[in-house]
């Protein structure tokens, strides 16, 4: 149940778990390394959150803020915790930290049905398409949602 899950800012102590949940959640060519996650944690413009339950890391998210635009860079939920609205919760909690920005942007692979459904449910709309962004035949859908979100006020 997501209500037994604690969401907080990630620290360097979460690094191994972040790399592990990423490996489990993404195909090899799209995985972020331990160093990439370390860079996320070190970057001043990032909000990196982790969701933990008694079994360990259940999910993670990283967003970046540049001026009035927020980029949703990564969201991943452990298989055992999926379809319990944790992905939705992580997006809400991360965006809450930058809620005075104007918009949230993201890129998602055109065939990632779960993520496309999640973002559509959160109110994102497709605004562009980047052919072959993730490799040959693997296009990116660029999505945007304008802030503020009523759910965050």
Is there binding between residue 77 and ligand COA (CB under 6 A)? yes
**DSSP string for residues in 23-77:** HHHS-GGGPPPHHHHHHHHH-TTEEEEEEEETTEEEEEEEEEEETTEEEEEEEEE
**Is position 130 an interface residue for ligand COA (rule: CB under 6 A)?**
no
Taking the C-alpha atoms of residue 28 and residue 71, their distance in angstroms, rounded to an integer, is 22
Query: 103-122: which residues touch ligand COA (CB under 6 A)?
Result: 108, 112-115, 117-118, 121
Cis peptide bond N-terminal to 148, omega within 30: yes
Site for ligand COA in 5-34 (CB under 6 A): 25-26
Q: Which stretch binds ligand COA (CB under 6 A): 38-46, 72-80, 94-102, 136-144?
A: 72-80
Binding site for ligand COA (CB under 6 A): 25-26, 75-77, 82-88, 108, 112-115, 117-118, 121
């Amino acid at each position: 149940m997501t209500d037994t899950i604690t969401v907080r800012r990630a620290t360097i102590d979460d690094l191994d778990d972040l790399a592990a949940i990423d490996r489990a959640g993404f195909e090899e060519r799209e995985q972020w390394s331990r160093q990439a996650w370390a860079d996320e944690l070190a970057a001043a413009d990032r909000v990196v959150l982790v969701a933990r339950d008694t079994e360990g890391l259940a999910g993670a998210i990283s967003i970046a803020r540049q001026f009035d635009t927020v980029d949703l860079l990564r969201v991943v939920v452990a298989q055992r915790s999926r379809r319990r609205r944790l992905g939705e919760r992580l997006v809400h909690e991360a965006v809450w930290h930058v809620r005075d920005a104007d918009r949230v942007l993201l890129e998602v692979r055109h065939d990632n049905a779960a993520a496309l459904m999640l973002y559509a449910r959160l109110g994102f709309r497709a605004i562009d398409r980047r052919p072959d962004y993730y490799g040959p035949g693997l296009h990116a859908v660029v999505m945007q949602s304008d802030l503020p979100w009523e759910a965050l006020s």
